[in-house]
Amino acid sequence: MKKILLASAALVLIAGAAVAQDKTKACFVYVGPIGDGGWTFQHHQGLLAVEAAYGDKVETAFQENVPEGADAERVLTQMALSGCDIIFTTSFGYMDATNAVAAKFPDVKFEHATGFKRDAPNVSTYNARFYEGRAVIGTIAGRMTKSNKIGYIASFPIPEVIQGINASFIHAKKVNPDVTISVVWAYTWFDPAKEADAAKALIEQGVDVILAHTDSTAPLAEAAKTPGIIGFGQASDMAAYKPSPRVSSIIDNWAPYYVKRVGAVMDGTWAQQDSWEGIASGEVEIGEITEAVPAEVKAEADALAASIADGSYHPFTGPLNKQDGSAWLADGVVANDGELAGMGFYVEGVTGDIPK
């Protein structure tokens, strides 16, 4: 029995290697199902773009619903053994697993989304400046709220999410000084039942604009049950909920990056890097602002997005204080990337504590 297993394993390896010689194999690890309509859906669009760009020269593989943790390491090892040339791990929680497996397979390229660890030379990280999009929808939220309460369904207390909360709040407050923000920590990226419950609790607390940092469309489905509640598409356009409750969206467009990096593997120019692109390069897009938003608010949001894109405005520009009132950025000073990537505090005016 053992012999048969070994023999078949060897066969798989040989077959994998044989394929790898003429085709480049790009593999993707997803945290949710490709039909989530949000985060994973967008990464899968990137995979499809790679297939469209290179046709027969590329082979792709993906695995959905891979839990963050020990299982991820098993899946990654399996992928590396099956002849993948480049593996994209598309969630923050795969960070340690990615680096651990990368150390064992120096010939395979690894690309980890939203992380910061690059322990081996074959690990790159890539991220998008989601906070730029948050600034735009925060502006819309501040203008649109009638109860002056906006809600934020947060996933995990990591810098990316805290940037999102801060950027949304700063820009909502800028256009509406009375606004307050309620944060609910869901401790999941994808759990529609939990996300719906969180949205419901926020609505019961008088919140009328819901921003979500989780991956499913459930918060919008919950918002749709109550008239007057609006929300935003997260990660994907979520156009099924137009024109309301979904009044706009932050779209993650990974396709150009994936096509570029798979191409780099093909022509042998792949090198370790840390990529962090935003609205300017098209990696973060603002979805159509619907007619549920007044024209002047739409114009204001569009103008803000344009100023971020041309570099004339940065969402974290002083004067800004930390939550405890101590000074963070002086007037006109812009936060640097290192500070943002490690952000672990709320700005002044956000209530509650960040869970440890």
Partner 1 sequence: MDLGGINPVVLIASLMVASVPILLAAIGELVVEKAGVLNVGVEGMMIMGAICGFIAAVSTGSPVLGFVGGATGGAALSFVFAVLTQGLLANQVATGLALTLFGLGLSSLMGQGYNGIKPPLTEAVPFGPLSDIPVLGVILFSHDWVVYFSIAIIAAVWWVLKYARTGLILRAVGENHDAAHALGYKVGRVRLMAILFGGAMAGMGGAYISLIRVPQWTDGITAGAGWIALAIVVFASWKPWRVLIGGYLFGGISVLQLNLQASGSRIPVEYLSMSPYLITILVLVIMSSGKGRASLNAPAALGQNFHASR
Nearer to partner 1 by Cβ, of 151 and 164: the residue is 151
Site for partner 1 in 96-155 (CB under 8 A): 151
Q: DSSP letters of 269-317?
A: -----EEEE-TTTTSEEEE---TTS-HHHHHHHHHHHHHHHTTS--SSB
Residue 197 interacts with partner 1 (CB under 8 A): yes or no = yes
Q: By the 8 A CB rule, do 33 and 65 touch?
A: yes
Q: Which of 65, 78, 273, 336 binds partner 1 (CB under 8 A)?
A: 65
Instruction: Work out the angle at residue 227's Cα, subtended by the Cα atoms of residues 165 and 238, and round it to the nearest 5 degrees.
Output: 55
Q: Which of 116, 185, 276, 313 binds partner 1 (CB under 8 A)?
A: 185
Stretch that binds partner 1, among 125-133, 199-207, 272-280, 318-326 (CB under 8 A): 199-207
The sign of the torsion formed by the CA atoms of 315, 155, 191, 148 equals negative
Nearer to partner 1 by Cβ, of 40 and 125: the residue is 40
Nearer to partner 1 by Cβ, of 116 and 185: the residue is 185
Q: How many residues bind partner 1 (CB under 8 A)?
A: 36
Q: Which of 165, 196, 235, 250 binds partner 1 (CB under 8 A)?
A: 196
Q: Which of 114, 125, 182, 248 binds partner 1 (CB under 8 A)?
A: 182
Q: For residue 347, what are the CA distances in angstroms to 166, 216, 294, 328? A: 6, 27, 28, 9
Q: Which of 24, 25, 29, 36 binds partner 1 (CB under 8 A)?
A: 36
Residue 192 interacts with partner 1 (CB under 8 A): yes or no = yes
Residues in contact with partner 1, shown as a per-residue x/- string from 208 to 237 under the rule CB under 8 A: --------xxx--x---x------------
Question: How far, in Å, CA of 279 to CA of 287, rounded?
Answer: 12
Nearer to partner 1 by Cβ, of 37 and 159: the residue is 37
Q: Which of 58, 102, 136, 198 binds partner 1 (CB under 8 A)?
A: 198
E-only strand ranges, 129-229: 149-154, 180-185, 209-212
N residues, the chain:
356
Residue 93 has what DSSP assignment?
G
Task: Tell me how far, at minimum, the Cβ of 258 lies from partner 1, in Å.
Answer: 21
Q: Which of 16, 33, 318, 349 binds partner 1 (CB under 8 A)?
A: 33
Q: Which helix (H) or strand (E) covers residue 127, if one does?
A: strand 123-128
Q: Which of 201, 266, 309, 320 binds partner 1 (CB under 8 A)?
A: 201
Q: By the 8 A CB rule, do 166 and 347 touch?
A: yes
Q: Which has the closest alpha carbon to 238: 256, 226, 224, 250? A: 250
The sign of the torsion formed by the CA atoms of 207, 211, 214, 216 equals positive
Task: Tell me how far, at minimum, the Cβ of 117 lies from partner 1, in Å.
Answer: 25
Token pair for 142: 């501040």
Task: Tell me how far, at minimum, the Cβ of 184 lies from partner 1, in Å.
Answer: 5
Q: For residue 250, what are the CA distances in angstroms to 21, 286, 307, 312, 329? A: 39, 5, 17, 20, 26
Nearer to partner 1 by Cβ, of 18 and 240: the residue is 240
Nearer to partner 1 by Cβ, of 67 and 106: the residue is 67
Nearer to partner 1 by Cβ, of 23 and 194: the residue is 194
Residue 79 interacts with partner 1 (CB under 8 A): yes or no = no
Token pair for 301: 């949001």
Q: Which of 56, 107, 204, 296 binds partner 1 (CB under 8 A)?
A: 204
Q: DSSP letters of 14-75?
A: HHHHHHHHHSEEEEEE-SS-GGGSSHHHHHHHHHHHHHHHHGGGEEEEEE-SPPSSHHHHHH
Give the residues lining the site for partner 1 (CB under 8 A): 33-37, 41, 65, 151, 182, 184-185, 187, 190-194, 196-198, 200-202, 204-205, 207, 216-218, 221, 225, 240, 351-353, 355
